[in-house]
Amino acid sequence: MSDNNTSWEREVVTQLAEASLKEQRRSRRWGIIFKLLTFTYIGVVLFMFNQASMPSVDVSEKHTALIELSGVIADGEKASADLIVTALRNAFENEKTAGVILRINSPGGSPVQSGYINDEMRRLRKDHPDTPLYAVISDICASGGYYIASAADKIYADKASIVGSIGVRMDNFGFVDVMNKIGVERRTLTAGENKALLDPFLPINENAKAHMQNMLSEIHQQFITSVKEGRGDRLDTSVKGLFSGLIWTGEAAVKNGLIDELASAGYVAREVIGEETIVDYTVQEDILERFAQRLGSTVAQIISTQFFSPTLH
């Protein structure tokens, strides 16, 4: 009798366990389906938003091309040389472009990226002499931003815009005293006496410091030369500190020759270029591509979690 009871209990427990496992699998499948449907819905919404945000202006008619350069100038950012140069080329290659406005709002960034854009602006101006290129400053155009602006035919700004900062900087920290206080010993192996150049956990090496200062001075001189070439006689080089990294308001920048006039992008399009219709050529990040990448990663993670990851219940 005892054996029959035990057998019956085992059978009931086995059936309950199997039922529980089936229910868990069913729940997981439905969970995946609902998540995929949610992502599909979001994708459709983003697609409709992307379509709705596309410019409706006909670029086959005469127009002023606008390109936004906003934020830090660096590779991988929206103000990278690749994106800005692509936009500039697209604008200049359209025969209906009456003029190009590069609207700048940037504190600066990479001298290499800024130099690429500067060089391409000069090339495009030379190849398309009948298409003027103007830089219009909004809030700030400093350092690498001004490096780029100096390649334009003319520079415009608001009276309160921040302009200038013609200089180069490199930031570093020193943690030697902190390391000593907490009793941590720095152990670095290098092949090459200057490989650990400016290591923040080691005392400053004066020879290395002098070398880096020379490098910064060389880049600074490249910056100055480019600005002088771009601005020519309009630049008042007698102004004290003009190339020292100082900044000025737009109103003061007119007087020292850093900019030409006070005006907005709308004014330049309407009164200077003569085409009030503005078409934005700024290269935008592809929303659908970014969403697809994230969707693919998320779906893979969901599938991996649901089917391959061990779980405890």
CA distance 202 to 24: 57
pTM of this structure? 0.73
Query: Given this model, what pLDDT does residue 132 score?
Result: 97
Residues of the chain above pLDDT 70, percent: 75
Most distant CA atoms of the chain, gap in Å = 112
pLDDT tens per residue, range 104-133: 999 999 999 999 999 999 999 999 999 999
Q: Which residues contact 208 (CB under 8 A, 6 or more apart)?
A: 194, 197, 198
* Strand partners of residue 134: 101, 154
Query: Given this model, what pLDDT does residue 23 score?
Result: 72
Confidence tier at 54 by pLDDT (50, 70, 90): very low
CA distance 307 to 310: 8
Query: Given this model, what pLDDT does residue 37 score?
Result: 66
Query: Given this model, what pLDDT does residue 129 score?
Result: 96
pLDDT tens per residue, range 203-240: 788 888 899 899 999 999 999 999 999 999 999 999 99
Query: Given this model, what pLDDT does residue 270 score?
Result: 97
Query: Given this model, what pLDDT does residue 144 score?
Result: 96
Confidence tier at 303 by pLDDT (50, 70, 90): very low
Q: Among the listed ranges 49-58, 74-83, 228-237, 248-257, which one has the minimum average pLDDT value?
A: 49-58
Query: Given this model, what pLDDT does residue 308 score?
Result: 35
213 burial via Cβ count (<10 Å: 0-12, 13-18, 19+): exposed
* The pLDDT of residue 156 is above 70: yes
Task: Provide the mean pLDDT of the chain.
Answer: 82
Of the two residues 292 and 253, the one the predictor is more confident about is 253
CA distance 85 to 121: 8
CATH fold of 63-282: 2-enoyl-CoA Hydratase; Chain A, domain 1 (3.90.226)
* The pLDDT of residue 55 is above 50: no
Q: What is the mean predicted confidence (pLDDT) over 243-254?
A: 96
Query: Given this model, what pLDDT does residue 231 score?
Result: 95
The full set of domain ranges for the chain reads: 2-53+289-307, 63-282
Confidence tier at 305 by pLDDT (50, 70, 90): very low
Query: Given this model, what pLDDT does residue 182 score?
Result: 82
Distance of CA 167 to the CA centre of its chain: 21
Query: Given this model, what pLDDT does residue 52 score?
Result: 39
pLDDT tens per residue, range 256-301: 999 999 999 999 999 999 999 999 999 986 555 545 444 555 544 5
Q: What is the mean predicted confidence (pLDDT) over 29-49?
A: 59
